[in-house]
Structure 1
């Protein structure tokens, strides 16, 4: 079973502009206080390394594997936390009309330990998703 935490926000910018912000890994420090020091290769199976500082949880560094990406559409990576816990992390852009999009970012937890982590931290993670969405929205709209 999967457990999801997500934040969706309207952005008055093109999908291309939003994607440019997402695809600029070194630029994440300017708009994303939760996921910083991001580096990696934007390619299927490529790795993404980052520092994560979710308020209320211990800061950590990890490397994930990019599972899906589509320019102007989505970036998805997976982190395995042992045999019983996986985290899928994603950003998705849905263009409603030129210059107007819905941006989603979230976490999907799976595995036995994933359920427990979700239950314990979903409010904290929801707040982190809200902070990330707002930072990305403001940057893309400027």
Structure 2
């Protein structure tokens, strides 16, 4: 399995509109088929609980590490002591015409990464669905 994933889309909405979508945790399941549920408050230092469509029987506890509204947000989670860790970064860049260059990337690392990356489900399709959902929901 890859040790990183990335999706990129141009969204026909301004960065603030996309930001508002990405920071409304309870609304995720209503617009994003890649997310079954997202509980908690998306704010720096807060813990959020995500259930993804890739692994619907598992809840991932993530920490919101950084928010630079409306440009960048970083979530991370994984095993204690940094043995295996994923860091997801959302990047929003304003484009002409009120559009947004949206990128979501996740990188996995740590001493157990070579082993864990073999058993973690492939998230390529999930990332593509997430990107497509951002485009559709921001347009609505």
Establish whether residue 77 from structure 1 lines up as the match of residue 75 from structure 2.
Answer: yes
What is aligned with 2:135? 137
Q: In structure 2, how many angstroms separate the alpha carbons of the residues matched to 1:133 and 1:18?
A: 11
Secondary structure, counterpart of 1:101 in structure 2 = strand
Establish whether residue 90 from structure 1 lines up as the match of residue 89 from structure 2.
Answer: yes
Establish whether residue 31 from structure 1 lines up as the match of residue 31 from structure 2.
Answer: yes
Deviant stretches of 4+, over 6 Å: none
Establish whether residue 68 from structure 1 lines up as the match of residue 66 from structure 2.
Answer: yes
Question: How many residue pairs end up in the alignment?
Answer: 137
TM-score (norm 1): 0.84
What is aligned with 1:20? 20
Question: Any gaps of 5 or more consecutive residues in structure 2?
Answer: none
1:105 CA drift (Å): 1.3
1:128 CA drift (Å): 1.0
Q: In structure 1, how many angstroms separate the alpha carbons of the residues matched to 2:95 and 2:117?
A: 31
Question: Any gaps of 5 or more consecutive residues in structure 1?
Answer: none
Compute the RMSD of aligned alpha carbons.
Answer: 2.0
CA contact (8 A) 1:31 1:132 kept: no
TM-score (norm 2): 0.85
1:49 CA drift (Å): 1.4
1:58 CA drift (Å): 6.0
